[in-house]
Every structure is written in C-alpha cells, then in structure tokens.
C-alpha cells in the first residue's frame, strides 16, 4: 500500500541523486495545440538534470489507435523503459519543465505497470535550478535493466467503465480541463470536438492545483480544491495527461487509488452517441 508524499523536493534530490538506485526521468511534454517553440525532447537535449533520460509520452504509447498517447500494453512498456535504464529496484524521480505536464502522467504510467517506487520532483526543473542543481546537455548512457510489469488495472478506466460510473454514480468523475471547456462556454483545442463534460462529473482545473512557482499546493489547500477526497475517483481531462495531475493531488491527500480515464474527453466526445452535459456541474 502506497503511503507518504508522492513528491520530493529539489533539496532531497540533490542529496540523493548519486545513490545507485536512483533514476531521474525528464518527462517534459507540450501538446501540439500549444505550439511551443521546442518539443520536450529538444528542451531535454539542451539542458537536463544530470543522468536524466527523456520519457516521451508520444513515443511510449499504444499503437493502432488515433487517440493520443494511450497507455501501451505491458510488453511494449517494459521494453521501452528497460532501454531507458529503468527497472526493478529503482527509485524513480520524474520531473518536467511544464507544470507537471507530463511528469504526473509518467508517474501514473509507472504505477499502472506496478512500479510503486516513483515520485515527482516538486516544482520540476525550475525548482532544481533554484536549488543550485547542476545541469548537463549530454545524453546519459542508460544501462538496460529488467522491468517486471504487474499491471494495476484499477488505476486506468476505459469508456465503458466511465459511462457506467456516470450512470450509477459509483465513482466521482473529476475533470481537469479549464472551467470554460467543462461548461461548454469555451471551445476544445482539438478540431471537431464539442466542449462540455461527462454527465455527473465535477470540475477541478489542474492549473488551480499549482502554485505560481510551479510547485503543487499544500495538503490543506488541495483539500479545498479536490472534491470527495476519500471516495472512489476517476479523473479525466482532454487526453489523459492533466488528469494525472489530479491523481497526483489526490495521492498527496492519501487517496492513492484514483483512476485515470485514459482516452478522456478526446475519446468521449468523438462519439456523437455519448451524452454531453454543459453548464456547471
């Protein structure tokens, strides 16, 4: 059973980065519609925490679907992370340079695949630099390790499961998208998708969980932002990335069993037969 804080500080990482079982992972990612000047991988190549490998959620993903960065099967996942030098017995610390996007997603992916010894660097790369941490631009030489996948299916939900939860109210469904997209007042960034929300879901924009300095808000603040702290929860967003930020926040409150709707709104709204609610929750 997972306990404690899912985050570590930059000071902690500085003190422990040389430990032989520590693996640092840069998960920086920018959605295509953001139109960032550089990709996450390009930023990593220019400057990263020493020894950090880059985990690209658009490369380590399921095939055979038009949905973005869906969770791959355990065989494919194991093969890819082994080549990054991540394996059994490692303590993994994930960070990014974009307000937990997609460090929280990679944290969740590793936990789905049974690797519980994973934390997220609070404040990401900026916190590391503020702490005086060194940077490098050379890619590390990753030594392949054995990774044993033990899939936790309870941490990931598909459309049928979400539809059932929406109808039965067996789980709280919490949406990480901006409020305007949730209510239907603002358009979706993905062309052809209507805005709105899954009937019965609640709005908790992931941006509200993050302090101006890029750290996650305190436990007391999160309690006022995340609904139904102790209830069974499914988080959703546009494509399953910022939903993981909510899952990270719930874990900080002690609810480690929050599931992510992998296909999220991109999958839900792509089928016109699925119900779409608008307005406030």
Same domain, 144 and 168: no
- Mind listing the pLDDT tens digit for each residue in 214-225? 999 999 999 999
Torsion sign across C-alpha atoms 111, 240, 270, 180: positive
Q: How far is CA 30 from CA 36, 41, 103, in A?
A: 7, 10, 12
Which pLDDT belongs to residue 175?
A: 98
How high is the pLDDT of residue 281?
80
pTM: 0.97
Decide which of 118, 151, 184 is a domain's last residue. 151
Instruction: Give yes or no: residues 22 and 90 share one domain.
Output: yes
Specify whether 101 is catalytic. no
Exactly one of 106, 209, 210, 237 is catalytic; name it.
Answer: 237
Q: Is the pLDDT of residue 1 over 70?
A: no
In a domain, 80, yes or no: yes
Whether 141 and 186 share a structural domain: no
Same domain, 136 and 17: yes
My answer on whether 11 and 147 are in the same domain is yes
Quick one: which H or E segment has residue 91?
strand 91-95
Judgement on whether residues 218 and 249 belong to the same structural domain of the protein: yes
Q: Which residues of 47-65 are buried (b: 16+ CB within 10 A; e: fewer)?
A: ebbebbbbbbbeebbeeee
Residues 104 and 225 in one domain: no
Q: If we measure between CA atoms, which residue out of 279, 272, 246 comes closest to residue 6? A: 246
Same domain, 13 and 86: yes
Q: Tens digits of per-residue pLDDT, 73-101?
A: 999 999 999 999 999 999 999 999 999 99
Number of domains in the chain: 2
The angle formed by the CA atoms of residues 200, 196 and 39, to the nearest 5 degrees, is: 115
203 pLDDT band, cuts 50/70/90, is: very high
Domain CATH code at residue 179: 3.40.250.10
pLDDT at 34: 86
Expressed as residue numbers, the domain containing 205 is: 154-268
Q: What is the reported pLDDT for 273?
A: 95
Q: How far is Cα of residue 251 from the mean position of the Cα atoms in its chain?
A: 12
pLDDT (mean) for 218-241: 96
Residue 24 has a pLDDT of 98
| Interatomic CA distance for residues 61 and 177, integer angstroms | 22
192 and 233 share one domain: yes
Task: Classify residue 278: in a domain, yes or no.
Answer: no
Helices vs strands, H then E, count in the chain: 10, 10
What is the average pLDDT value for the chain, to the nearest integer?
Answer: 96
The Cα 114–Cα 162 span in angstroms is 22
Q: What is the pLDDT of residues 132-159, one digit of tens each?
A: 999 999 999 999 999 999 999 999 999 9
């Amino acid at each position: 059973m997972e306990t404690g804080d899912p985050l570590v500080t930059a000071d902690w990482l500085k003190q422990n980065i040389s430990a032989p079982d520590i693996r640092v992972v840069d998960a920086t990612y920018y959605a295509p519609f953001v139109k960032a000047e550089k990709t996450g991988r390009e930023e990593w190549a220019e400057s990263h925490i020493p020894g950090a490998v880059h985990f690209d959620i658009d490369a380590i993903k399921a095939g055979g679907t038009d949905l973005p960065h869906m969770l791959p099967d355990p065989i494919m996942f194991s093969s890819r992370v082994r080549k990054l030098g991540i394996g059994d017995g490692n303590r993994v610390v994930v960070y990014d340079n974009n307000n937990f996007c997609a460090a929280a997603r990679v944290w969740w992916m590793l936990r789905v695949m049974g690797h519980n010894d994973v934390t997220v660097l609070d404040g990401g790369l900026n916190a590391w630099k503020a702490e005086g941490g060194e940077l490098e631009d050379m890619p590390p030489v990753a030594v392949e390790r054995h990774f044993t996948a033990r899939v936790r299916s309870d941490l990931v939900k598909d459309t049928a499961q979400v539809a059932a939860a929406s109808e039965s109210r067996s789980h709280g469904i919490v949406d990480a998208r901006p409020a305007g997209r949730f209510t239907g007042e603002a358009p979706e960034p993905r062309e052809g998708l209507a805005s709105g929300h899954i009937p019965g879901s609640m709005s908790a924009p992931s941006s509200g969980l993050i302090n101006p300095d890029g750290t996650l808000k305190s436990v007391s603040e999160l309690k006022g932002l995340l609904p139904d702290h102790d209830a069974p929860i499914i988080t959703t967003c546009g494509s399953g990335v910022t939903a993981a930020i909510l899952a990270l926040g719930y874990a900080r409150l002690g609810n480690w069993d929050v599931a992510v709707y992998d296909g999220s709104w991109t999958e839900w709204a792509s089928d016109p037969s699925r119900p779409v609610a608008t307005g406030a929750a």
